[in-house]
Amino acid sequence: MDTVVNAPLEAMLHSVERFYRQFQSCPDSLFTWAYIGIDEIDKKSKQEALTKDNKNAIQLIYKDREYDPVLKTGDVAIDIYVLGVRWWKDQHLGTIYSLTHADDAAFPLAAQLTATYSGSILEGGDIIFLLEPIDDTHTRVHYVFSLGFGRTLSLFISDKIWQNAIEWRFVIILQNLVEYAETGTVVRKSAK
């Protein structure tokens, strides 16, 4: 996804790095800003019958956490629920954050969080923000997320389930990170 943010590069980078750091060290705190909007849909989905078309078909419940701020590495234990039933317990999501310049140029900056898993559920994943200043008050953002599912989970994840249960969350996260960069906060939207 691509967007233009009405904020300087430093503000957008701060938003991204805050998201990555909290994702690695205290993911529950993301519900106070980066995950706003996801929790409302999650509450609504819990009231409906769980089906493979439901937005809550797949849920991650965060548990134990370890974070090294010097190395910018994290490890989060999670339980994975599919259609309301815990399929996997204490799966470990390891992460490492890096900030690099593409092709030895000053820009774009590549802020990347790479994840690996201890089990065979997922092969790994990346969340990448390519940031490039347009001027002093605008930043071009290219946002990429990718997940490699393991053999067991890939049998369950169709394109429709991906869109219904996973992809929409990444869209909301991007919107919230942009809002935070532009305003310094994320405001809960009123229900329609």
DSSP alpha helix (H) spans, 26-167: 38-47, 151-156, 159-161
Burial of 188 (C-beta count, 10 Å sphere; 0-12/13-18/19+)? exposed
Rounded distance, CA 40 to CA 70, Å? 34
pLDDT in the model for residue 68: 95
Identify the CA nearest to 62 among candidates 34, 43, 81: 81
Please tell me the predicted confidence (pLDDT) of residue 139. Answer: 97
Task: For the chain, count helices (H), then strands (E).
Answer: 5, 7
What are the distances in angstroms from CA 162 to CA 72, 120, 165?
29, 18, 6
Q: Say what the pLDDT of residue 137 is.
A: 97
Digit-by-digit pLDDT tens for the chain (192 residues) are 799 999 999 999 999 999 999 999 988 899 999 999 987 654 554 445 555 555 566 677 778 889 999 999 999 888 877 777 787 777 778 899 999 986 777 888 999 999 887 666 667 789 999 999 999 999 999 999 887 766 666 666 666 666 666 778 889 999 999 999 999 999 988 754
pLDDT score for 182 = 98
CA torsion through residues 30, 44, 41, 61, sign: positive
- 15: amino acid identity, one letter: S
Contacts for 111 with CB less than 8 Å, ≥ 6 apart: 13, 16, 17, 20, 97, 98, 99, 128, 129, 131
Q: What is the pLDDT of residue 135?
A: 97
Q: Under a CB-based contact definition with an 8 Å cutoff, are residues 101 and 107 in contact?
A: yes
Domains of the chain: 2-183 (3.30.530.20)
Q: What is the pLDDT of residue 192?
A: 45
